[in-house]
């Protein structure tokens, strides 16, 4: 691709060009002059973004069907967006992860913060799972996959089917395999002394959530000799880490039977089969039942899905976090620990902390906030994009 062949998108005179020049990665539809030509651009088209005075600002990946119509991908408008371009971005991301981790199990590409808007790539040793969340990545999936294999040496590359974009005809294998052969069994992932069973083909998102790694480790430090309750446990994230940290027992609660089966597999693989138990059911129903039974634990952890996935759901989501804290707090023994997590980018830290603390108070409990955790460094935060700082974990001693 050469810059002269790219179509042009132009900012409106009142658009905040300064913010884009200073690193803001997204351009919304109401900031652009959208005529018939630009509205008819195929999703995923690469274009030159110009300011209102027709000065080039960089290359953007476009999608006229999205409110985020343009995503900044490259400041140099003369650069070709090809396999070599992808390889340079991937090498830079890989260098950071290889400094951080002794073993090749981590998030390799974290979207905008790694210069590849909308792209998530998780690494499982020689296998990579790619989640393309923007149309331009679907269009360029072949040079992307080739570059990933070139830089990392991966022998298996899978495309996660749960990505938010539709598969474009002819660009994706029916079974989601971009390279190699899909594994026919869960991949065992060592993390914080625990073993996690990741289903790379049928699991949630890429098969495992690496972002909670540092929070798992902190919870494990609190769990020596403890009875632990892990609610919304998925494949046993906090529960398995707690057992690796010396917990006496861990009860993992989740609504998904396949996820709990993977948790049990991880426990067995690490030798914790006798100390882990699972319970399938709606988390709020289980919390209510445990409360009626008078059950109490030294450590209670709640890591729910996003209750406030966007601004429209913020108030409803905050009430759900408050309710969760109110129901979980009575299950914590005197002097024990309550861990409450949120992956809702719309609920910032202050709002989330207020909702949780209010819920604890409504349960007639009190305590101190001893630690606030965030996503690990393989999930870097882009300072100009508040949405990239989505994960929060609050550790209370009650």
pLDDT at 168 > cutoff 70: no
Do 237 and 266 sit in the same domain of this protein? yes
Sheet holding 26-28, edge to edge: 26-28, 68-74, 56-62, 46-50, 8-11, 32-33
Q: Are residues 377 and 254 in the same domain?
A: yes
CATH label of the domain that carries residue 300? 3.40.50.150
Q: Please tell me the predicted confidence (pLDDT) of residue 162.
A: 54
Query: How far is residue 200's CA from residue 180's CA, in Å, rounded to a whole number?
Result: 13
Asked whether residue 257 carries a pLDDT value surpassing 70, the answer given is yes
User: What secondary structure does DSSP assign to 37-86, as a single string?
Assistant: HHHTSPTT-EEEEE-TT--EEEEEEE-TTSSEEEEEEES-TT---SHHHH
**Other beta carbons within 10 Å of 145:** 20
Residue 173 has pLDDT above 90, yes or no: no
* Number of domain units in the chain: 3
Average pLDDT over residues 374-397: 93
Pairing type for strands 8-11 and 32-33 reads: antiparallel
State residue 389's pLDDT score.
Answer: 85
Question: What would the mean pLDDT of 213-221 be, rounded to a whole number?
Answer: 98
DSSP 297-364: EEEEEE----S-SSGGGHHHHHHHHHHHHHHHGGGEEEEEEEEEEE--TTS-HHHHHHHHHHHHHHTT
pLDDT at 172 exceeding the cut of 70: no
Percentage, residues of the chain above pLDDT 90: 90
Q: What CATH number is given to the structural domain containing 96?
A: 3.30.750.80
Same domain, 202 and 271: yes
Share of the chain above pLDDT 70, in %: 95
- Cα-to-chain-centroid distance, residue 350: 20
At residue 192, does pLDDT exceed 50?
A: yes
What is the rounded CA–CA span in Å between residue 112 and residue 99? 20
Residue 70 has pLDDT above 90, yes or no: yes
Least confident of 119-133, 161-175, 198-212, 342-356: 161-175
Domain boundary among 27, 46, 74: 74
Q: Using 50, 70 and 90 to split pLDDT, how confident is the model at 4?
A: low
Q: Check whether residue 21 and residue 135 sit in a common domain.
A: no
Structural domain boundaries, residue 260: 187-397
User: Is residue 275 located within the same domain as residue 225?
Assistant: yes
Q: Which residue has the higher pLDDT, 311 or 168?
A: 311
CA 365 – CA 368 distance, rounded (Å): 11
For residues 328-353, give the mean pLDDT: 97
CA dist., res. 104 & res. 99, Å (int): 11
**Range 272-291 average pLDDT:** 97
pLDDT, one tens digit per residue, over 97-149 is 999 999 999 999 999 999 999 999 999 999 999 999 999 999 999 999 999 99
Tell me: do 210 and 339 sit in the same domain.
Answer: yes
Q: Does the pLDDT at position 247 exceed 90?
A: yes
Residues 14 and 123 in one domain: no
Same domain, residue pair 92 and 39: no
Compute the average pLDDT of residues 47-75.
Answer: 96
Question: pLDDT band at 161, cuts 50/70/90?
Answer: low
Q: Based on the domain organization, do 34 and 153 belong to the same domain? A: no
Instruction: Examine the fold and report which residue of 145, 179, 213 is the final residue of a domain before the chain moves on.
Output: 179
Least confident among 43-47, 140-144, 241-245, 309-313: 309-313
| Neighbouring-strand partners of residue 393 | 341, 373
Q: Which pLDDT band, with edges at 50, 70 and 90, does 175 fall under? A: low
For residues 49 and 93, membership in a common domain is answered with no
Coil, helix or strand at residue 193:
coil
Q: Any idea what DSSP says for residue 282?
A: -
Is a pLDDT exceeding 50 seen at residue 204? Answer: yes
Give the active site residue among 252, 302, 343, 356. Answer: 343
When computed from its CA atoms, the radius of gyration of the chain, rounded to whole angstroms, is: 23
SS (H, E, C) 141-185: HHHHHHHHHHHHCCCEEEECCCCCCCCCCCCCCCCCEEECCCCCC
Q: In terms of domains, do 277 and 385 share one?
A: yes
Single residue among 36, 54, 74 that ends a domain in this structure: 74
Do 196 and 208 meet the contact criterion of CB atoms below 8 Å apart? yes
d(CA 167, CA 158): 14
8 A C-beta contact, residue 345 and residue 387:
yes
How many CB atoms are closer than 10 A to CB 397? 14
What mean pLDDT comes out for the span 364-373? 97
**Average pLDDT for the chain:** 93
Distance CA 30, CA 315 (A): 26
What pLDDT shows up at residue 166?
Answer: 36
Tokens (6 digits) for 205: 């998102």
60 conformational bin, left if phi > 0, alpha if psi -120 to 50, beta if neither: beta
- Mean pLDDT check: name the lowest of 63-77, 107-121, 170-184, 316-330: 170-184
Average pLDDT over residues 279-288: 98
Do the beta carbons of residue 71 and residue 49 sit within 8 Å? no
Say if residue 118 is in the same domain as residue 17: no
Predicted confidence (pLDDT) at residue 203 exceeds the cutoff of 70: yes
What is the CATH classification number for the domain harbouring 16? 2.30.130.10
| Catalytic annotation present for 343 | yes
């Amino acid at each position: 691709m050469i810059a002269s062949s790219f179509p042009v998108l132009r900012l409106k005179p009142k658009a905040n060009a300064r913010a884009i020049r200073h690193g803001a990665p997204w351009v919304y539809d109401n900031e652009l002059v959208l005529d018939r030509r630009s509205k008819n651009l195929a999703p995923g088209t690469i274009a030159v973004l110009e300011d209102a005075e027709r000065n080039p600002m960089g290359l953007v990946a476009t999608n006229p069907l999205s409110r985020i119509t343009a995503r900044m991908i490259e400041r140099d408008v003369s650069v070709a967006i090809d396999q070599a371009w992808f390889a340079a971005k991937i090498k830079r991301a890989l260098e950071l992860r290889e400094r951080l981790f002794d073993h090749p199990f981590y998030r390799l590409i974290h979207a905008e913060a790694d210069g590849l808007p909308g792209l998530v790539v998780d690494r499982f040793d020689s296998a990579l799972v790619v989640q393309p969340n923007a149309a331009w990545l679907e269009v360029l999936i072949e040079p992307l996959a080739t570059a990933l294999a070139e830089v990392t040496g991966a022998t298996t590359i899978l495309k996660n089917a749960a990505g938010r974009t539709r598969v474009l005809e002819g660009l994706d294998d029916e079974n989601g395999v971009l390279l190699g052969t899909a594994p026919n069994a869960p991949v065992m992932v060592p993390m914080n002394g625990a073993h996690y069973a990741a289903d790379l083909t049928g699991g949630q998102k890429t098969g495992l959530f690496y972002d909670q790694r540092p929070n798992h480790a902190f919870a494990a430090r609190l769990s020596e000799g403890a009875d632990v309750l892990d609610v919304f446990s998925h494949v046993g994230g906090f529960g398995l880490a707690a057992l690796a940290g010396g917990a006496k027992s861990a009860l993992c609660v989740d609504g998904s039977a396949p996820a709990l089966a993977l948790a049990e597999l991880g426990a067995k693989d690490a030798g914790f089969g006798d100390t882990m138990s699972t319970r399938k059911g709606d988390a709020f129903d289980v919390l209510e039942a445990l409360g009626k039974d008078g059950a109490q634990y030294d450590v209670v952890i709640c890591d729910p899905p996003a209750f406030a996935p966007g601004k429209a759901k913020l108030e409803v989501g905050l009430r759900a976090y408050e309710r969760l804290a109110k129901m979980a707090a009575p299950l914590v023994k005197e002097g024990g620990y309550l861990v409450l997590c949120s992956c809702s980018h719309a609920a910032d830290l202050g709002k989330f902390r207020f909702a949780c603390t209010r819920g604890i108070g409504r349960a007639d409990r009190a305590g101190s906030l001893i630690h606030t955790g965030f996503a690990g460094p393989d999930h870097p935060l882009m300072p100009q994009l508040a949405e990239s700082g989505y994960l929060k974990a609050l550790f209370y001693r009650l």
